[in-house]
């Protein structure tokens, strides 16, 4: 049984995240979506809200579980018995940051294997920050996020 962990701030979860999570759920027996508190990023949605939105977005994926966490990702992975870390890669601009995080996580926990899943072309430009900006300017975000997130963004900015 291989348990994978997919971490992120998910502020909020987008269709791009959901695509990576869905692909991971087809590759591994169990996938834990780990929503980081990330207080330094001053998220728009609280940790509880981000967990609830991600859980609703993933409800059709039976082997996916969503949890919130504070502290080091490698400690969470050990506690949860996850042996694979799944990250989404969009463009080459993600690479430097992901490269650094992968090296650091490897130093902290060499048994945890990081695996990258490439986003398909239609999600390569998509990010939570772009979605937040479009929503804050009253733009349409329905094509970028699951319906529950569209609803939550509408409530937040209207
Ligand atoms: O969606 P994000 O904000 O790019 O995700 C970054 C995240 C949450 C994966 C990263 O910041 C993280 O792992 N945070 C937990 C704290 C930690 O373990 N930091 C050291 C690894 S870089």
Ligand 1, pocket-test mutation among 36, 82, 85, 95, most atoms within 8 A of CB: 36
Q: How far is CA 148 from the centre of its chain?
A: 16
Whether 86 has a pLDDT exceeding 80, the answer reads: yes
Regarding the beta carbon of 9 and ligand 1, being less than 6 Å apart is answered yes
3-state class (DSSP) for residue 44: coil
CATH superfamily of 3-124: HUPs (3.40.50.620)
- Break the chain into its structural domains and give their ranges: 3-124
On whether the pTM is more than 0.95, the answer is yes
Q: Summarize the confidence of residues 9-32 as an average pLDDT.
A: 98
**Where do we find the tokens 């992120």?**
8
Mind listing the pLDDT tens digit for each residue in 24-60? 999 999 999 999 999 999 999 999 999 999 999 999 9
**What pLDDT does 20 receive?**
97
Q: Summarize the confidence of residues 97-107 as an average pLDDT.
A: 96
Residues in a beta bridge with 113: 84
Ligand 1 centroid, distance to 158 Cα (angstroms) = 30
């Amino acid at each position: 049984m291989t348990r994978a962990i997919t971490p992120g701030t998910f502020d909020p979860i987008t269709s791009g995240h959901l695509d990576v999570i869905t692909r991971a759920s087809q590759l591994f027996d169990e996938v834990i979506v780990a929503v980081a508190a990330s207080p330094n990023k001053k998220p728009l949605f609280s940790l509880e809200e981000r967990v609830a939105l991600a859980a609703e977005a993933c409800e059709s994926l039976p082997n996916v579980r969503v949890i919130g966490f504070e502290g080091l990702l490698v400690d969470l992975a050990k506690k949860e018995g996850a042996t694979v870390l799944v990250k989404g890669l969009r463009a080459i601009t993600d690479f430097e940051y992901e490269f650094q995080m992968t090296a650091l996580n490897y130093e902290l926990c060499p048994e945890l294997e990081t695996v990258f899943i490439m986003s398909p072309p239609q999600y390569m430009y998509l990010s939570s920050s772009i979605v937040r900006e479009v929503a804050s300017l009253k733009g349409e975000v329905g094509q970028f996020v699951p319906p529950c997130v569209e609803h939550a963004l509408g409530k937040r900015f209207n």
